[in-house]
Amino acid sequence: MRPSSSPSDGLFGGLSGAPDVDAELSDQSLVQAMLDVQAALARAAADAGILPAPAAEAIVEQCRAERYDPQALGRAADATGNPVVALVAELTAAVPEHARPWVHLGATSQDVLDTALALVAVRALGPLLRHLDAAVAAAAQLADTHRDTVMVARTLGQQAAPTTFGLKAAGWLTGLVEARDRLRQARAAQPAQLGGAVGTLAAFDSAGAEVAERFAAHLGLTPSPLPWHTRRQPWLDLATALGGLLVAAGKAALDVGLLAQNEVGEVAEGGTGRGGSSAMPHKRNPVDSILVTAAAGRGPGLIATLFAAAVHEHERAAGAWHAEWEPLLDLLHLGGGAAARCARMLVGLQVRPERMRENLDATGGVLLAEAVAARLAPAVGRGVAHDLVTRAAAQPSFRAALLADPEIRAHLSDTEIAEALDPSRWLGSAGRFVDRALVAAHGASR
């Protein structure tokens, strides 16, 4: 049998995923998850006294993915609309004759595939969350190190007022921590699915609820109070949590890409030999920023598909269920790649405080216009102060215009103007906000 490839294989997969996450998303991993479901079903039924213990042991023995060909199962799936039917047929043929009547007892294909996807999600989120932990730690380090590193804040694409790089990094940190919290919750809440043909587990008579609870316990998944064949909230919660990760990582990536522009030059991605161009030898592109931004751009469409497919008719859906599988796996793939690349980007980020200060000073202090107006306002009122400072800001040299304006000088001394034009004096609670973000992130890591 030829091993099935993972999502990272191929020309483009390695640009959007992470190998350790994608290893849990491969066809072979999904087949193993479906077989783990079959093994847990046999064990649960045996625990409840429904299935003979020797039959359960024989079924479990054959639940090894290396014995099955995912590509062959995929081809066979065309006849039945899902790969479970073919897998059950092969598993049944593989077990001894005495165990064959007990294979897949009481379950339906959706039980197997929904629960297998829940298992795959739990397993893939393990390495994904480790990458996210690394990104959180790197963002926290940047915020702490650069708590008081002054730089230009930019709003609506324009230079606005002073801020600190620490506060910018604290914003990245908080977004990543919040995304991690939601992913942890979604992972812990992944439910087992066992309802049988129409959600009644009639094949187990009155023992169905007991079997379902034992089934979930064998898999380490959350037991569901009733089958969720047509109640798709677990996938929606997972999808939105993954979307939140893509947004948080995408925010940091977009900022890094903009700050790394030659005209700005306030940060640069690290990594020897990364970022080269096929045509321009001098270029050093922010590759991780670019790829994380790309992943963030793909997420909304996948999430929209899952929400569009979430309304299922009657007891089992025709088509809506089938539409969920690949978008869910794609989201896990993109989330893994975004978390890993965001971590690498932030760990290796080269911060250039001297360039930040150059850009801050480049406009001759006009970025402190709000600070000057605030000092004038108690004497002349906010409206007059705003007009006076606006007039000065229109001159070639803001500082010189302030010093030369008699209406302003009537209320502000040389020292007061100099203090107003000191960006370190117009940072408000930036430092306190950074400290709060670091404390919150430290508490969330526990």
CATH (domain of 73)? 1.20.200.10
Q: What is the pLDDT of residues 245-280, one digit of tens each?
A: 999 999 999 999 999 999 999 999 986 656 554 554
Q: What is the pLDDT of residues 126-180, one digit of tens each?
A: 999 999 999 999 999 999 999 999 999 999 999 999 999 999 999 999 999 999 9
Residue 399: the pLDDT is 93
Burial category of 394 from C-beta neighbours within 10 Å (exposed 0-12, middle 13-18, buried 19 and up): exposed
Please confirm, yes or no, whether 6 is among the known catalytic residues: no
Statement to judge: residues 242 and 381 lie in one domain: no
Q: Give the end of a domain, one of 354, 371, 388.
A: 354
Q: Report the percentage of the chain scoring pLDDT > 70.
A: 96
Statement to judge: residues 250 and 397 lie in one domain: no
Residue 270: the pLDDT is 86
Q: What is the pTM of this model?
A: 0.94
Number of domains making up the chain: 2
User: If you compute the radius of gyration of the chain from its CA atoms, what whole number of angstroms results?
Assistant: 29
Q: What CATH code is carried by the domain that includes residue 421? A: 1.10.40.30
Q: Hey, what amino acid is at 92?
A: T
| Residue 42 predicted with pLDDT over 90 | yes
Phi-psi region of 273 (alpha: psi -120 to 50; beta: other; left: phi over 0): left
Collapsing DSSP to helix, strand or coil, 440 comes out as: helix
Range of the domain at 412: 363-444
Please give the full DSSP string across 241-264, using - where no structure is assigned. Answer: HHHHHHHHHHHHHHHHHHHTSTTT
The per-residue pLDDT of the chain, averaged, comes to 94
| Residue 14 predicted with pLDDT over 90 | no
Catalytic residue from among 67, 277, 397, 432: 277
Statement to judge: residues 247 and 320 lie in one domain: yes
- Quickly state the pLDDT bin for 93 (edges 50, 70, 90): very high
Please give the full DSSP string across 16-64, using - where no structure is assigned. Answer: H--HHHHTTTSHHHHHHHHHHHHHHHHHHHHHTTSS-HHHHHHHHHT--
Q: Which two tokens stand for residue 425?
A: 């004096």
Residue at 7 is within a domain: no
Residue at 4 is within a domain: no
Please confirm, yes or no, whether 214 is among the known catalytic residues: no
Catalytic residue from among 43, 123, 232, 316: 316
Q: What is the pLDDT of residues 199-244, one digit of tens each?
A: 999 999 999 999 999 999 999 999 999 999 999 999 999 999 999 9
For 445, phi then psi, to 5°, come to -75, -15
Q: What is the pLDDT of residues 343-355, one digit of tens each?
A: 999 999 999 999 9
Residues 347 and 138 sit within 8 Å (Cβ to Cβ):
yes
